[in-house]
Structures are given as structure tokens and as C-alpha cells.
């Protein structure tokens, strides 16, 4: 049994997340966590809300709330949305927690003791009309490298370069649109990434062989461009406060907090401590190499926009501390899920968000589609037409149809009792070999974290079931050879139990319902060496479920397109 630590990128506190956020980190992390638990491994799946920074302050002000109250409410909203999608977080923490405050201040102190943090008087953008310093992402303008006109002060989404606000051409405040900006002196702490650049590169060299090309290329792109020293504090009131070595106020740093991108990744560790503070256990055994974490396999899931921070900035913090912290072994990065080729946009009525999706269909419909057709190795476009087609074909016509056919046949011809008698023949022997081979492929794809390929391998097994039923034709055999029909029925019902188990990581609720039809409650991962065609004993009862997967009708697509947008 392995110990596997899984983290998915922290959803920002500001608003419910759209399907692209779900598909790009939280959902694949959950699918993989469920697979590994089913394999019998010890899994810790960690996530949290990312709560600090200007967006939270502005959103709270717009809602007429103080920022703490706003974050309290939004954390619950996001936690419930995750639960509704059956995201099996072991802990869903908060970056505003006391544990994260303490750990963030600890890292800052240790880094400073090691000569990796220094105070600098900086020139930062001050908005005269907004009467505030503007954090990096709230200054927008033209990228000096690619001339993209909507670059942010921390990063250009077009060319991917990390930026400083003063790099931008014709900058303006994204808070108010004001161009009445000026650079003013302000004192801040800087993390001297230039001093740990070689250490970070050596670490990437040692780990990136296990990363997919997307994550590896982004990491080396930033390393090859050259790391820069990064400001890690901001002029804000909401965040982890900067303190002195004695824990008291630090001179010249009053009213300053740590930059959200400094404290947010530390919350992975802090959330684990939040969990063990409630339930017992030792969070250090997952995160400290000197306290038991040396046998942990750590896997991160994230969208491609987060890769630079997780392969450069956070490792600079962890490695720079000189302490024996567990660092990531494998990094799984996803591309963008677009809406008909464009971006999701609430203001433009384009796209579906997590809470809205569940008003339309149960979670498993979305989980399957976003995994099987998600933005894994390239950007993917969500369209209602594709969603309708894949749902109807994969779930209704293939999986749901197989389960309903064989269970209802058993009810009508064998009084709902799994029949005894008969011997397996050549058709079952071939099926057993094909199922074994298909399961080995599916397991290998899961272990490689190839989710689209895993989904297609699962679908291929479901197709085998339908093809077997069609060829074995128990309805025909029943007319002349009841024992032969009994063999086919038992085999088909065992496939139902098997298909529930392989569907469980993708669609946990539906898998349970499928298993219940044949009285199967075991949703552990099947082993290729098991007798997979004898999973349901003779004499047990079966009962067809109501429609497992209803087809999506053209009228529904038209209604949803009108409500949420579609092709231009």
C-alpha cells in the first residue's frame, strides 16, 4: 500500500467556479484520488479556498460585507459545490486559517535568516483616483514582449511572461479604469529567487522526467528566461500580516501583508494541519521528510496558468528554507476548457458554473464528460452539441443500455433471481481474455494519469459487454437451452458488477446505483487476475434501476443554449 498525497490548485474565494476550473484541477484530482483509494492505497486529497488579496476585498465591498464575513460565506458556498459534485476532499481548508498564518510567517522568518529575503524601497503603482496602491494583477496594460493589450501586472496571459506592473505600456487601474496612476515609494520584502535559481533548476531536473510535456516546458521556459527577485508583500489590510522575529509589529511594515501567491501554496501544508487538528494524527508525517514523509508520493493537479508558480516560486520558498519539506513528485497540468472557443463569462451570459450545472443534470453527467473530453493535452471547447452527443452515446446507449438490458431480462425471464447451471463456453473464455486485457489497459492509463485515455478504455470495456450480449443472445438461447441462457445471464450480471467498479472513479453515484441492481456493494478496483465473470453468485436477486442515464433531448439543448449561450 502506497501513501499518496494529492493537491489540486486552490479555487479563489471570489465567486463560484465555472466548469473550466472544475475540469482543470479539482475533478481530475478527485478521479485519481478515488482510483487510488479503490486500489487500496492510503490517499490524502487536500484542497482549500484561496482567500487573500485584493479581489476578496473588492468583492466583499461590493457585497456590503466585511471581508472576513464574505470569505466565511463563500467558503461554505464552494465547499457545498464541491460536495455536490462528489469531490472527495479529505480536507477543504482555508488560506485565512490560523495554521496558514503561522506557517507563512515561519517560512518568511526562516528565509530571511538564510539571507533570501530583504527589504527594498520599491516604486509601485499608486492609483490617485482609487486612493490605493494597486496589486500587480489590478494594473493592466500592454505587454512589452508580445504587445497583448490586456496583460496584467503579474503575468501576460497571451505569452505567459511573468511581469511587474512597471513593465506595462500605457497601464491603467482595472479597479476603476483610471489612468491617473503614478509610481510611489513603498517598502516591501523581496524573495531573492536569483540566489536559489540553480537549486530550483537542479530540483526541476531531478523531478521533471515524471512530468508531462506541458508542465515541463513551462518550468524550463521560466528558468531559461532567468528567475527574478519577487516582491512577497503588498499594501493591503486582508492577508497574513508581516511581523518581526519576535512576532510583534515589524518597523516600516505596518499595514502590509504577504502576497497571496506567497501564502496560498503554503496552505497545502496548513490545510493538512487543519485536518489533523480536528481529527488527530500528525500532519508532519505527510510533509516533513524527517518525520515520516519520505515514503509519500506527492502529486499536484492544476491549470497551466498555475504551473510557473508551482515549479518556480513555491519551490524557491520550500527549497530556500533549507528545511526537509516534501516537494512534489509529479505535476499534472491541464489546458483551458473554453466555451465554444471563447472564454467563460458571467457578464456576457457565456458558460455554465458549478451550481448552475447541477440545476440541469446530476453531477455524474458532467464528471464523465469533463474527464473523458476535457482539456488534458490541448485546449478543449465545450459545446452543448458535443455534450449531448457524448452523453447519449457513452452513458445512455452503451453503459446504461447494457445494465438495463441484462437486469430487466433477468427480471422477466428468471424472476429476478441469478440462475444456476450451465458451463462457460468458448465465447465466455474469449470475453474473459478480452476483459482482462482491457482492464490492464485501463489500469495502466489511470496509473499514468491519462484521464481521457482511461475514460476511453472504460468505454471500450462497456462496449465489450454489449457486443457479448448481442452475440450470445440469451433471449434466443432461452428458447432451446435454458442452461446456456443461464450462463450468459450470470456472465452479463457479473459484467454489471465489474462495470460499476470501473465507473466509480468517474461517476461515484451512478456506480453505486449500477452495483445495487445486482446486489454488488464492492467498488474496489478489480484485479486482472480475478475471476471477473463470476462476481454475482447464483441465487442472489437483481432489480432494475430507474433510468440510469436519461438522454439529452434537442429541446433541452435549445433551452440551455438560450439560457447560457452557445455558438455565435
State the CB neighbour count (10 A cutoff) for residue 247: 10
User: Average pLDDT for residues 186-192, to the nearest whole number?
Assistant: 95
pLDDT of residue 236: 87
Q: Give yes or no for a contact between 451 and 31, defined as CB atoms under 8 angstroms apart.
A: yes
Kindly report the pTM of this predicted structure.
Answer: 0.92
| Residue 373 CA: distances (Å) to CA of 26, 386, 390, 394 | 15, 9, 9, 12
Cell numbers given for 246:
519576535
Measured in degrees and rounded to the nearest 5, phi and psi for residue 264 equal: -60, -50
> Average model confidence (pLDDT) for the chain?
95
State the CB neighbour count (10 A cutoff) for residue 185: 9
pLDDT of residue 344: 83
How many percent of the chain have pLDDT more than 90? 85
State the CB neighbour count (10 A cutoff) for residue 59: 18
pLDDT band at 51 (very low <50, low <70, confident <90, very high): very high
**b/e code 511-520 from CB counts within 10 Å (16+ = b):** bebbbebbeb
State the CB neighbour count (10 A cutoff) for residue 528: 14
Give the tens place of pLDDT for each residue, 294-310.
999 999 999 999 999 99
The rounded distance, in Å, linking the Cα atoms of 250 and 245 is 8
The rounded distance, in Å, linking the Cα atoms of 309 and 265 is 9
Amino acid at each position: 500500500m502506497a501513501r499518496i498525497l494529492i493537491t489540486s490548485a486552490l479555487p479563489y474565494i471570489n465567486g463560484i467556479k465555472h466548469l473550466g476550473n472544475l475540469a482543470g484541477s479539482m475533478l481530475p484530482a478527485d478521479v485519481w484520488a478515488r482510483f487510488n483509494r479503490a486500489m487500496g492505497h492510503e490517499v490524502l486529497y487536500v484542497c482549500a479556498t484561496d482567500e487573500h488579496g485584493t479581489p476578496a476585498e473588492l468583492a466583499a465591498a461590493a457585497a456590503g460585507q466585511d471581508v472576513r464575513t464574505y470569505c466565511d460565506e463563500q467558503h461554505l458556498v464552494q465547499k457545498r459545490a464541491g460536495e455536490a459534485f462528489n469531490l472527495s476532499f479529505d480536507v477543504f481548508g482555508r488560506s485565512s486559517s490560523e495554521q496558514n498564518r503561522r506557517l507563512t510567517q515561519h517560512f518568511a522568518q526562516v528565509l530571511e535568516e538564510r539571507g533570501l529575503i530583504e527589504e527594498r524601497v520599491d516604486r509601485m503603482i499608486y492609483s490617485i483616483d482609487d486612493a490605493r496602491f494597486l496589486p500587480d494583477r489590478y494594473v493592466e496594460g500592454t505587454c512589452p514582449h508580445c504587445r497583448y493589450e490586456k496583460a496584467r501586472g503579474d503575468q501576460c496571459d497571451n505569452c505567459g511572461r511573468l511581469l511587474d506592473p512597471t513593465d506595462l505600456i500605457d497601464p491603467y487601474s482595472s479597479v476603476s479604469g483610471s489612468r491617473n496612476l503614478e509610481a510611489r515609494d513603498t517598502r516591501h520584502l523581496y524573495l531573492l529567487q536569483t540566489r536559489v535559481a540553480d537549486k530550483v533548476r537542479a530540483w526541476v531536473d531531478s523531478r521533471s522526467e515524471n512530468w508531462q510535456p506541458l508542465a515541463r516546458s513551462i518550468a524550463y521556459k521560466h528558468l531559461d528566461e532567468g528567475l527574478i527577485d519577487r516582491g512577497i508583500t503588498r499594501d493591503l489590510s486582508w492577508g497574513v500580516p508581516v511581523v518581526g522575529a519576535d512576532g510583534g509589529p515589524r518597523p516600516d511594515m505596518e499595514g502590509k501583508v504577504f502576497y497571496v501567491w506567497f501564502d496560498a501554496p503554503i496552505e497545502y501544508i496548513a490545510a493538512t494541519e487543519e485536518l489533523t487538528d480536528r481529527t488527530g494524527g500528525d500532519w508532519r508525517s505527510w510533509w516533513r521528510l524527517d518525520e515520516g514523509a519520505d515514503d509519500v508520493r506527492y502529486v499536484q493537479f492544476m491549470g497551466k496558468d498555475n504551473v510557473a508558480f508551482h515549479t518556480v516560486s513555491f519551490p524557491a520558498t520550500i527549497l530556500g528554507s533549507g528545511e526537509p519539506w516534501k516537494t512534489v513528485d509529479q505535476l499534472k497540468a491541464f489546458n483551458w476548457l473554453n466555451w465554444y472557443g471563447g472564454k467563460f463569462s458571467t457578464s456576457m451570459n457565456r458558460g455554465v458554473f458549478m451550481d448552475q450545472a447541477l440545476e440541469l443534470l446530476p453531477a455524474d453527467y458532467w464528471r464523465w464528460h469533463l474527464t473523458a473530453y476535457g482539456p488534458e493535452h490541448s485546449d478543449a471547447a465545450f459545446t452543448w452539441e458535443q455534450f449531448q452527443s457524448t452523453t447519449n452515446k457513452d452513458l445512455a446507449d452503451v453503459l446504461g443500455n447494457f445494465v438495463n438490458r441484462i437486469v430487466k431480462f433477468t427480471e422477466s425471464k428468471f424472476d429476478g433471481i441469478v440462475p444456476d447451471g450451465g458451463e462457460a463456453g468458448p465465447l465466455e473464455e474469449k470475453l474473459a481474455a478480452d476483459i482482462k486485457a482491457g482492464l490492464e489497459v485501463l489500469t495502466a492509463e489511470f496509473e499514468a494519469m491519462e484521464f481521457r485515455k482511461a475514460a476511453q478504455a472504460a468505454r471500450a470495456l462497456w462496449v465489450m459487454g454489449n457486443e457479448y450480449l448481442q452475440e450470445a443472445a440469451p433471449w434466443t438461447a432461452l428458447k432451446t437451452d435454458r442452461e446456456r441462457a443461464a450462463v450468459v445471464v450470470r456472465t452479463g450480471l457479473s459484467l454489471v458488477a465489474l462495470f460499476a467498479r470501473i465507473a466509480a472513479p468517474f461517476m461515484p453515484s451512478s456506480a453505486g446505483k449500477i452495483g445495487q441492481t445486482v446486489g454488488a456493494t464492492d467498488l474496489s478496483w478489480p484485479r486482472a487476475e480475478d475471476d471477473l465473470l463470476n462476481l454475482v453468485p447464483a441465487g442472489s436477486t437483481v432489480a432494475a434501476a430507474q433510468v440510469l442515464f436519461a438522454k439529452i433531448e434537442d429541446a433541452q439543448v435549445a433551452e440551455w443554449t438560450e439560457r447560457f449561450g452557445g455558438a455565435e
